[in-house]
Amino acid sequence: MTSSASPQPPAFSLCVYCGARPGDDAQFASTARQVGQWIGQHGGQLVYGGGSNGLMGVLADATLKAGGRVVGIIPQALVDKEWAHTGCSELHVVDTMHERKRMMAERADAFLALPGGIGTFEEFFEVWTWRQLGYHDKPVGLLNLNGYYDGLLGFLSGVVDHQFMVDAQMNLIDVDTQFETLLIKLVQSAGVHYSLNAKDL
């Protein structure tokens, strides 16, 4: 584990799930960078999967550059592939994915999924399920950037129509197309007290 001293505790801690690849749209990386900048500029802490590739690396680098703390949590198997971001404020190397996800959940005030692949989906659905089961009551957000999650949201609506889910379960997640609006809502819903800049209001 690597660590660096912080002059004061972070104003909030946001767990972000996103792709280890950049995707086919430059706006994916641009938005990941803006999310990281927002976290850092508002005195926050990023908790994420500890990777250096794709949107994960862009997000972490932007948070650090903006003055935020970054807590990376990564399994040894991915460290062995040289995927770890060694510049994190804290880098925790764990044995299993289960341990990784548990630690990420414990360190977060709220959760956000950006565009990503199977790992992002799995982490998002698990933390959503945990909220439904009462294992936590932290806000969970899904950023539907450029319609990326339109298909998923349509499918979930169909699941409700088929009565395998109910509207109350869908209401446990916040969905938005604008990252700034969603970030403000998640942090405020978490009950975290911090100062928003005038431009955020």
- Estimate to the nearest angstrom the gap between the alpha carbon of 191 and the chain centroid: 17
Q: Could you tell me the pTM of the whole model? A: 0.91
Q: For residue 136, how many other CB atoms are within 10 A of its CB? A: 14
- 200's tokens: 């955020």
What's the pLDDT at 15? Answer: 98
Residues facing residue 3 across a β-bridge: 90
> 3.40.50.450, 3.65.10.10, 3.40.640.10, 2.40.340.10: which CATH number matches 11-189?
3.40.50.450
> Among all chains, which residue has been given the structure tokens 């804290």?
90
Residues of the chain with pLDDT under 70: 1-7, 193-201
Domain boundaries, the chain: 11-189
The whole-number pLDDT of residue 158 equals 98
How many Cβ atoms are within 10 Å of 193's Cβ, its own excluded?
9
Interval 109-144: pLDDT, tens: 999 999 999 999 999 999 999 999 999 999 999 999
Please, is 7 exposed, middle or buried when counting C-beta atoms within 10 Å of its C-beta (0-12, 13-18, 19+)? exposed
Taking the C-alpha atoms of residue 15 and residue 20, their distance in angstroms, rounded to an integer, is: 15
Nearby residues of 184 by Cβ (< 8 Å), 6 or more positions away: 196, 200
Residue 48 three-state SS:
strand
The CA distance from 175 to 187, in Å, is 14
Which among 46, 60, 50, 35 is positioned nearest to 12, based on CA atoms?
46
Tokens standing for 74? Answer: 């990564």
